[in-house]
Amino acid sequence: MTHRFSWLRVTAATCAAGAALIFGTPAHAGLFDDDQARQAVLDLRAKSDNLASQLAAAQRTILDQSNRLDQLNQQVATLRGQSEDLANQFTTLQKQQKDYYTDLDSRLKKFEPQQQTVDGVEGTVQPGETEAFNTASQQFRNGEYKNAAASFRSFIAQYTHSPYQPTAQYWLGNALYALRDYKGSTAALQNVVKNYPQHPRAPEALLAIANNQVEQGQKTAAKKTLEQLIAQYGSSTVAQTAQSKLSQIK
């Protein structure tokens, strides 16, 4: 009897333990799953916070880089503007330098002999020579015959090898003719005919000499001069004028 009671008690205890094991396990397992889920949520939250921090850092970096790029663009624009200014300044400086040397060269040329052709005669023109001739010519055109004669005489004496010589002597003869100095005029014009017989002014000088002779009443001498003109320069237009004038002298 006692042995049966003990066996029942052991069996009951065993059943109770089994029941406890069977019914107690699901409750423990559920608690364990909630902890894992909670931990997973925390892990996800941590990862999300971390990603958010990384994203914010990346955005700050991008913003910094964008600001830096803007600054670089501004610097490039500034440098480009400075470069254009320097290029313009350089171009202006080059032009000024070129103009300076061109002006300097033209100024220096005024003090250097120059090759020039005057009335078909080529020669070396000295500094101031052209100006002196032009001054005398302008005086003649202005009717200042006395001053013109003096200026042409001075020119002829100073520039003895000038290509202006035959032209200057021709106009000296005309200035003296205007002053009624027929002898002086004839002497100046004869220099043209004698020293420059191929010059374009030579036939004109002969015609002017004939006029001087007519003015002095030297008709025979005038006819001889006109005949010389026609004989030497028959193909010139001046020769035609001489022929007409010759027929008028009685």
HSE-CB at 159 with a 13 A cutoff on CA atoms is: 23
Distance between CA atoms of 116 and 144, rounded to whole angstroms? 27
Residue spans of the domains in the chain: they are 114-248
CATH label, 114-248, candidates 1.10.287.130, 1.20.120.1730, 3.40.50.1110, 1.25.40.10: 1.25.40.10
**Within 10 Å of residue 2's Cβ, how many Cβ atoms?**
6
Here the tokens at position 43 are 């892990």
Contact (Cβ atoms closer than 8 angstroms) between residue 206 and residue 218: no
Q: Is 197 helix (H, G, I), strand (E, B) or coil?
A: coil
Q: Interhelix angle for 237-248 vs 202-215, to 10°? A: 20
pTM (global) more than 0.75: no
Distance between CA atoms of 158 and 167, rounded to whole angstroms? 15
Contact (Cβ atoms closer than 8 angstroms) between residue 178 and residue 145: yes
Encoded amino acid at 167, one letter: T
pLDDT tens string for the chain (250 positions)? 555 445 445 445 554 444 444 445 555 555 557 888 888 888 888 888 888 889 888 888 888 888 888 888 888 888 888 888 888 888 887 888 788 767 766 665 665 778 888 887 788 899 999 999 999 999 999 999 999 999 999 999 999 999 999 999 999 999 999 999 999 999 999 999 999 999 999 999 999 999 999 999 999 999 999 999 999 999 999 999 999 999 998 7
Contact (Cβ atoms closer than 8 angstroms) between residue 166 and residue 133: no
